[in-house]
A and B are shown apart, each in its own frame.
Chain A
Amino acid sequence: MSNRSIVALKVLAHIACLAPVAWLVVHLIQNNLGPDPTATVTFFTGRGTLRLLVISLAVTPVRRLIPQLTWIIRFRRMLGLYAFFYGCLHLLTYIWLYAGFSLSTMIDDITRRRFIIAGLTAWALMVPLALTSTTWSIRKLGGKNWNRLHRLAYLSAIAGVVHYWWGVKPGVLTPTAITVVLAILLAARPVLAWWSSRNRVPVS
């Protein structure tokens, strides 16, 4: 993949990640987000976060399975940062439209509601990852440490999915799809590692 194609693809990826936010802002201004706009924004940003997180977690297994696609690693940082961006919008939705910036409401929720705790955990786990997303950080931390730290992305995604399940009414199965995809991606890592170790020629 030539550098020029990568740049072109990156522009497209930025557009793909930002277009939904633009759509949301336009509809917000037009007051056209349905009967319950707060809920619309909540689900829109929440699902966006989880989807982007899961897509970023798909990069490694896809590269392992399809060697011709190793270049997609160059998109992972961007996807992760967009996941964090959507996560921040989701958190802002809560702080602004649900809690009305009331600290006591937020403390009450954090101490009593497990779905809020799970969601906040998912967001908080992304913070160190966003902060260490620069090339400078990778160099500073060293590849090995950096990789270890960035495994927090798995925990964040798991916490996010748990937050989704705990947030919807019992009996509602809408979080199933994202849960299955995440489970496959998490299981793919040990499976692919085992597979490649089996196929490696033993060193005599």
Chain B
Amino acid sequence: MLKRKTNDIPYSEVTPKSAYLNRRAFMAGAVAAGAAAVAGKRIAGLISPDKSVHADTKLTTVKSPLSLTGVAPTSFQDITHYNNFYEFGPSKDDPARNAWRLKTRPWTVSVEGLVKNKQKFDIDTLMKLRPLEERIYRHRCVEAWSMVIPWVGYSLSEFIQKCEPLPSAKYVQFISLDDPSQMPGLSEVNLDWPYSEGLRMDEAMHPLTLLTFGLYGEVLPNQDGAPVRIVVPWKYGFKSAKSIVKIRFVDKQPHTTWNDSSPEYYGFYSNVNPDVAPQHSQKMERVIGASIFHQLQPTLMFNGYGDQVAKLYTGMDLRKYY
């Protein structure tokens, strides 16, 4: 019993399957088209749309030395069907079910605040600013589950350098899309929207912090934060803002959504730390995709990125600044 290993599908095989993710959006259009077209043949074609429609979802990437090696990523299916994205609902399967409503084109990210180049970036320009890298990172949710995810993007620092922040800019704030017509969870979840997250400037400038556009070599599926999100692998997942529309450079620590909601549970820093756990224990984590009796594994300080990031916090009491 329970023979399945954590990841027995080589992800090169999983990649092309993503095409079906857009099925919902396709079906929505199909309802209108279907009303006019009575022919059954055509309906059949709509139910399993031709994959060539989504040929543009593939991304060209280069390898990165910052990727984990020797670990098999979590399956594409689990990464895209088990996650938190409260704008689409509070359950783990809500994002996959509801994110087809999100329109990722046209999309602009506006850069605001203490910065030389206040500018609006079109998403396609933003994606082409730097070569895209594949970064295989550990991902740790504050709910004590974890994944290994092959993200695609480039270091946020490269983008920040383009923006030329003023010396007075000490923090970066990320604001996510807040549109109830596309995001049914906004009215379902009692949080102060829009979602706001933030990093200290040195955290934002750390090469590990990834401005992310893709997953498994393809553009981000809507439910994972399309069209652009950040990924901060040594912090709990909620620090990595999704579907970003504004990047703001500020001089004071910006307010952040979960910290506003329950400051006693979710600190501004929220570094992965097995020894600090205001709500649930963080000592262990459940590996997503593993069989039930092999799910638990110990959580590592800074999610295993201590060598690279611990120096950002020297002299700080991490019990106080959790």
How many angstroms between the C-alpha atoms of A46 and B90 in the bound complex?
Answer: 18
How many angstroms between the C-alpha atoms of A95 and B281 in the bound complex?
Answer: 13
Q: Does B189 reach chain A (CB closer than 8 Å)?
A: yes
Contact A171 B292 (CB under 8 A): no
Contact B292 A41 (CB under 8 A): yes
- Chain B residues with CB below 8 A from A34, complex form: 82
- Chain A residues with CB below 8 A from B189, complex form: 171-173
CB distance from A108 to the nearest CB of B (A): 7
How many angstroms between the C-alpha atoms of A113 and B295 in the bound complex?
Answer: 22
Q: Does A105 reach chain B (CB closer than 8 Å)?
A: yes
Contact B296 A173 (CB under 8 A): no
Our pick among A39, A97, A105, A172 for the contact of B283 (Cβ within 8 Å) is A105
Contact A174 B90 (CB under 8 A): yes
CB distance from B280 to the nearest CB of A (A): 7
How many angstroms between the C-alpha atoms of A43 and B3 in the bound complex?
Answer: 24
Q: Does B162 reach chain A (CB closer than 8 Å)?
A: no
CB distance from A99 to the nearest CB of B (A): 9
Contact A172 B265 (CB under 8 A): no
Contact B296 A35 (CB under 8 A): no
- Chain A residues with CB below 8 A from B143, complex form: 169
Summarize B's interface: helix, strand, loop or mixed: loop
Q: In residues 4-26 of chain B, which contact A (Cβ within 8 Å)?
A: 4
Contact B90 A172 (CB under 8 A): yes
CB distance from B288 to the nearest CB of A (A): 5
Chain B residue nearest in CB terms to A109: B281
- Chain B residues with CB below 8 A from A105, complex form: 281, 283
- Asked if A171 meets B190 with Cβ closer than 8 Å, knowing A31-B2, A38-B292, A115-B279, the reply is yes
CB distance from B261 to the nearest CB of A (A): 5
Contact A108 B291 (CB under 8 A): no
Q: Mark B260-282, 1 if CB is under 8 A from A, else 0.
A: 01100100000000000001110
Contact A113 B279 (CB under 8 A): yes
CB distance from A98 to the nearest CB of B (A): 8
Contact B78 A38 (CB under 8 A): no
Contact B78 A35 (CB under 8 A): yes
Contact B295 A97 (CB under 8 A): yes
Chain B residue nearest in CB terms to A174: B90
- Chain B residues with CB below 8 A from A173, complex form: 90, 188-190
How many angstroms between the C-alpha atoms of A7 and B2 in the bound complex?
Answer: 39
Chain A residue nearest in CB terms to B4: A31
Contact B90 A37 (CB under 8 A): no
Interface residues on A, range: 20 to 34
Interface residues on B, range: 20 to 34
Q: In residues 239-270 of chain B, which contact A (Cβ within 8 Å)?
A: 261-262, 265
Choose among A100, A115, A169 the residue with the greatest number of B CB atoms under 10 Å from its CB.
A169
Q: Does A29 reach chain B (CB closer than 8 Å)?
A: yes
Our pick among A29, A36, A108, A171 for the contact of B261 (Cβ within 8 Å) is A171
Our pick among B2, B280, B289 for the contact of A113 (Cβ within 8 Å) is B280
Contact A97 B145 (CB under 8 A): no
How many angstroms between the C-alpha atoms of A105 and B292 in the bound complex?
Answer: 19
- Chain B residues with CB below 8 A from A31, complex form: 1-4, 291-292
Q: Does A202 reach chain B (CB closer than 8 Å)?
A: no
Q: Does A67 reach chain B (CB closer than 8 Å)?
A: no
Q: Does A33 reach chain B (CB closer than 8 Å)?
A: yes
Q: Does B97 reach chain A (CB closer than 8 Å)?
A: no
- Chain B residues with CB below 8 A from A142, complex form: none
Contact B292 A33 (CB under 8 A): yes
Q: Does A149 reach chain B (CB closer than 8 Å)?
A: no
Q: Mark B96-137, 1 if CB is under 8 A from A, else 0.
A: 000000000000000000000000000000000000000000
Complex A-B, nearest 6 residue pairs according to Cβ-Cβ distance, in ascending order: A37-B292, A35-B82, A35-B78, A170-B262, A171-B191, A171-B190
Please list the residues of chain B having a beta carbon within 8 angstroms of any beta carbon in chain A. Answer: 1-4, 78, 81-82, 86, 90-92, 143, 145, 188-191, 261-262, 265, 279-281, 283-284, 286, 288-289, 291-293, 295-296
26 contacts between A and B (CB under 8 A): A29-B1, A31-B1, A31-B291, A31-B292, A34-B82, A35-B82, A35-B92, A35-B288, A36-B92, A36-B295, A37-B291, A38-B286, A38-B296, A39-B286, A105-B281, A108-B281, A109-B281, A113-B279, A115-B279, A169-B143, A170-B261, A170-B265, A171-B86, A173-B90, A173-B190, A174-B90
